[in-house]
Amino acid sequence: MTDVTSNSAAAASLSAERRARRRKRAFRKALMPWLFISPYLVLFLVFTAFPLLFSVYLSFQEWNPVTGLSGMSFVGLANYAQAITDPWLWKSLYNTVWLAIATGIPQHVIAIPIAYLLVTAFRGSFRHLYTATMFIPFITSTVAISLIFYTIYSSNNGILNQWLLGLSSVPVIGALFAWVPDAMPIRWLGSSDLLKPAIAMVVIWKYTGFNIVIYSAGFLTVSKDLYDAAKVDGCNAWQQFWHVALPMIRPFIFFALTLTIIGNLQLFEEPFILTAGDSGGVSQAGLTASYYLYLVGWEWLEMGSAAAISWILFAFIALATSVHFYFNAREGLEGHN
Amino acid sequence: MNKFILTCLASAAISASAASAAEIRLDGFPDFNNHLDKVIPLFAETNPDISVTYQMNNHGDHHKKLTTNLATGSGAGDIVIVDIGFIGSFIDAGGFENLSDATYGADALADGFVDYAWSQGQGADGNQYAIPIDIGPGVMYYRRDVLEAAGLEVEDVITDWDSYIAYGEKLREMDVYLIADAADVASTIIRTTVQPGEGFFFDAEGNSLITSERFVKAFETAKRIRDAGLDGQIGAWTNEWYDGFKDGSVATQLSGAWLLGHLQNWMAPDTAGKWGVSNLPDGVYGSWGGSFLAIPRQAENKEAAWAFVEYLTNNPEAQLASLRNIGAFPVLKETYADPTFDEPIEFLAGQQARRLFAEIAEQVTAVSPQKGDLIAEDVVINGALLEVLNDDKDVMAALRDAERLVMRRVR
Amino acid sequence: MPALTRSLPAVSKHAVMIVGVLVTIFPFVWVAMMGTHTRSEIYSSPPPFYFGDNLISNYERLLEIMPFWLVLWNSLYVSVLGTIGAVFFCSMCAYGFFAYQFRGKNVIFGIMIASMMVPPVLTLIPFFLTVRFLGILDTHFALWFPGVANAFGIFLIRQYMTTSITRDLLDAAKVDGASDFRIYWSVVLPLIKPALATLAIVMFIGLWNNFLTPLIVLSTPEKYVLTLALRSVQSLANSPWGAIMLGTFLSMVPLLVAFLFFSKQMMAGLTAGAVKG
């Protein structure tokens, strides 16, 4: 009797305990993902959120930073109104998009096959050596890049012009370059038509190696068995690349494309050094949107106006990225589980 | 024995820490470090209680950091160097100490300084916010050998811009460029022919002068030079620029006094004796560059900072030392009486060039900086001028477009 | 190995690579060469494309204008800490995004991607305010810590996880009674080594080459990092370019070493065999 009551009491308390434990477990289960992403959340709130809000606030102010924080005055939407009717902003957005496309596509078209070749056709130290060398442009410091490319693009004694001249005197292909001697000296950095291509070459040169590394990491996830299976099915080399390897690295293509879209639309350093910071070069042909907002904010000291431009640029990047996500995210984010 | 040394050291340390109560930091850009390394010990001899350190960043970085420091009210040194290009937008913003205030009494020093430089350190309220430390009197550098081969005297060349261009026509037959970049002529005219009371780009009321006769003449003169093929289309600070100095393929260069040091030290050391300097063409006076010292309001040791500012700018020894150390031309007038200024300079075939620099410095008229100068500079000089020269845009159209762009921003 | 290997004669595949190598290696070689010349030689035209004989004097000059090895050490310290932190925290966050379904996940992920789109030029002043507010001005901590859980790294690793880790694997580990952290640490991390190595490379280079943050954060020359020190001695007219180029070259060497080290880890992924088929 006593046993029974005590037993049922024990059972009751046991089930309460179990419920509590289950609740606790459910709670912990719900909490788990938040625990994992907490480092990002904390750092975002501490170091990123405030600067973002600050720059939103700033875009409604007129502010010469040199006057200190108290020097702001509210101007409503005036900064935005001024920005969207600003011919230099539209020119710079055009340049940005031009450069983003002209540098973005070649980067991937070159990087994907080279990465594939590196991963499938080379082993050991050769692969190592080649990858490392192709990565060098990405680690080269800005000073070195500006010095080197000034020398290459220089109009009178520049290496590029010397080469073109040399090519024009080669017997067979010389005919293709017959126009070169008449066009000399070609002013790569001094004419509005050539400035953008000249900048584009530097950007492609610098970032292709980075993409090669990302894609190499991608191709390395494709298992050997898959290729073997494809071979058994009678796939040739091209089909293996196109039908086996490429679909497998879709998440990497998605990732690299996202970075390229965002990075290229923020392009700043290369045009800045190749125009020596002189407001975008001849006819602002090298003025990108980031470059322009740098000019407005840091050279002209109109931080409010620059903030408005930066949010307009943000809108453009967000738009381009959403289009990319809309078409590619399903496969790009999920892989093929 | 050991104990004795230790106590001595300890007491020395104590007195040292008490003495160096005033620690000041100067923020600037190279080459000032080479000057400071030599004068800080000299300053310490008479001011043992002030210890000076400095932080150098390159020119652009320094001004960016200074902007951040002024914006946030913290992090700046006790003294900051400000380049002349930024001085106009910095001094009226309220971030610097008013040096006309009785604590500093800067106004009493005014007469000792080259006029135009002194007044550029003044805010719109007439108070002194920055003290000039060096200046760059503008001259024309020319190749003597080329001039001789053309059978001319330098006076014939610099009479006016027409005679200057006529010289260029002659040089073209000799396959020598008159000047590296025609744009230099335009910016010289724009900067040196400002009417009294006007700014570079705006009049006293803030109205644009960008389409005025001064700009039209400047642009058209440069365009004439470019169209006649008289300039090398060579940008400054490039290998081609240095080449032009070395091989005599460029006959003249309009620049500041400081270029001399660079020419003889590293740009074209082998051309010693082949160079000369003269006044700018067309009888104009102007300056290329210059720097100022200011004390941020956020500075902690303002008194000590002022002592060092005074030493660097108002002490003839320190001013002369900067000429020796980094080729920065003194702004303190009494230094011009020093024998250094009459020394013949071998690189310039024995010319007493520093005397000429000093005379020019006293002739330059002050142009007060105005809000919007930085924008106008970018839009007009870097923007419109290049479009006219390189892209054949019509002068008037380019100036009108530039004016519209500038006035949109300068409200 | 796939058929491509055999169908391409060894010569031609090397030829392709060598063209690439020639285009990419010359700045490195050139900078090395410039480090052995005087300023006048560097600024002659055409500039010298051979080694000069001023290496020693450039090196002495370099030590004169900056405490070179000290600032190199500072750079190394900042970059190593930042890289280790990033590899750990980014993979942790990426695992959170990869392995769980939870409310608000897509929103946070979206904000994270969007935060990469804000042009960095303008956030400098508020970043300075934040750093000052936290009292970490003039510390190395402020250089490496803010970036240890960054959007780029989390995104990269998440993407890698989607290709190399299956749900079945996670479920199996759970059935075995492993805790969440244990699954992340002992099951997932070893499988994503190549991605961690890739992230490490990019982070290390980013931290090493960063100069904007050090510029506004640091005010003691002894705390300077290499990029800042090398920039701080440059002026338009009067820089000791031979010494600066030597310093630039020496500053690229650790990056190359780091790359070789990590890329070995990355390539190890292949020999270990991928898990997924």
pLDDT in tens, B121-152: 998 889 999 999 999 999 999 999 999 999 99
Task: Give me the count of residues in chain A.
Answer: 337
Which CATH number applies to A80-155+190-334: 3.40.190.150, 3.40.50.11030, 3.40.50.10800, 1.10.3720.10?
1.10.3720.10
Q: Do B58 and C234 touch (CB under 8 A)?
A: yes
Is the pLDDT at C118 greater than 70, yes or no? yes
Which regions of A147-213 does DSSP assign to beta strands (E)?
none
pLDDT value of position B6:
42
A332 Cβ partners below 8 Å, 6+ apart? Answer: A250, A251, A253, A254, A255, A325
Structural element, H or E, at residue C162: helix C151-164
Question: What confidence tens digit (pLDDT) does each residue in C189-219 have?
Answer: 999 988 999 999 999 999 999 988 999 999 8
**Domain around C131:** 66-232
Is A333:A321 a contact under the CB 8 Å cutoff? no
pLDDT value of position A146:
82
Q: Do B65 and C47 touch (CB under 8 A)?
A: no
Q: Using CA atoms, how far apart are residues B77 and B67, in angstroms rounded to an integer? A: 12
pLDDT value of position A156:
74
- The CA-based dihedral angle spanning residues B252, B256, B258, B259, taken in that order and rounded to the nearest 10 degrees: -20
pLDDT value of position C272:
44
pLDDT value of position B15:
41
Chain B neighbors (3+ CB pairs < 8 Å): A, C
Helix, strand, or coil (residue C44): coil
pLDDT exceeding 70 applies to what percent of chain C?
Answer: 92
User: DSSP 3-state helix, strand, coil percentages of chain B (rounded to 5)?
Assistant: 55, 15, 30
- Tell me how many domains chain C contains: 1
Chain B CB contacts of A302 under 8 Å are 409
ipTM over 0.90: no
Question: Which of A37, A241, A298 has its CB closest to that of C97?
Answer: A37
Chain B CB contacts of C238 under 8 Å are 30-31, 262, 326
C266 occurs within a structural domain = no
Q: Which residues of chain B have pLDDT under 70?
A: 1-20, 411
Question: What is the count of residue pairs from B and C with beta carbons less than 8 Å apart?
Answer: 72
Chain C CB contacts of A148 under 8 Å are 26-27, 30-31
- Per-residue pLDDT of chain A in tens (337 residues, 90 and over written 9): 445 555 666 666 767 788 888 888 888 888 899 999 999 999 999 999 999 999 999 999 999 999 999 999 999 999 999 999 999 999 999 999 999 999 999 999 999 999 999 888 887 788 888 888 888 999 888 878 888 888 888 887 778 888 888 888 887 777 777 787 777 788 888 888 899 999 999 999 999 999 998 898 888 888 888 888 888 888 888 888 998 899 988 889 999 999 999 999 999 989 998 988 788 888 899 999 999 999 999 999 999 999 999 999 999 999 999 999 998 888 788 755 4
How many angstroms away from the CA of C147 is the closest CA of chain A? 8
Domain ranges for chain A: 2-58, 80-155+190-334
The neighbouring-strand residues paired with B54 are: B26
- φ and ψ of B128, to 5 deg: -90, 120
Chain C CB contacts of B25 under 8 Å are 219
Q: Do A33 and C102 touch (CB under 8 A)?
A: yes
pLDDT value of position C276:
39
Q: Do C97 and A148 touch (CB under 8 A)?
A: no
Q: Do C232 and B326 touch (CB under 8 A)?
A: no
C93 occurs within a structural domain = yes
CATH of the domain at C125: 1.10.3720.10
pLDDT band per the 50, 70, 90 thresholds, residue C8:
low
Is B245:B263 a contact under the CB 8 Å cutoff? yes
Q: Do A138 and C205 touch (CB under 8 A)?
A: yes
Q: Using CA atoms, how far apart are residues B51 and B296, in angstroms rounded to an integer? A: 18
DSSP letter for A189, please. T
Which regions of chain A does DSSP assign to beta strands (E)?
61-62, 73-74
More confident residue, A184 or C3: A184
How many angstroms away from the CA of A232 is the closest CA of chain C? 11
pLDDT value of position A28:
81
Chain A CB contacts of B183 under 8 Å are none
pLDDT value of position A10:
63
pLDDT value of position B398:
95
Q: What is the mean pLDDT of residues C99-104?
A: 91
C122 occurs within a structural domain = yes
Is the pLDDT at C133 greater than 90, yes or no? yes
What chain B holds in terms of domains, given with CATH numbers, is 22-135+289-342 (3.40.190.10), 138-287+349-409 (3.40.190.10)
Report the residue of chain A nearest B95, measured CA to CA.
Answer: A67
C11 occurs within a structural domain = no
Neighbours of C179 (CB within 10 A): 12
Over the range B1-21, which residues count as b (16 or more CB within 10 Å of their CB) and which as e?
eeeeeeeeeeeeeeeeeeeee
Question: Which of C40, C215, C239 has its CB closest to that of B65?
Answer: C215
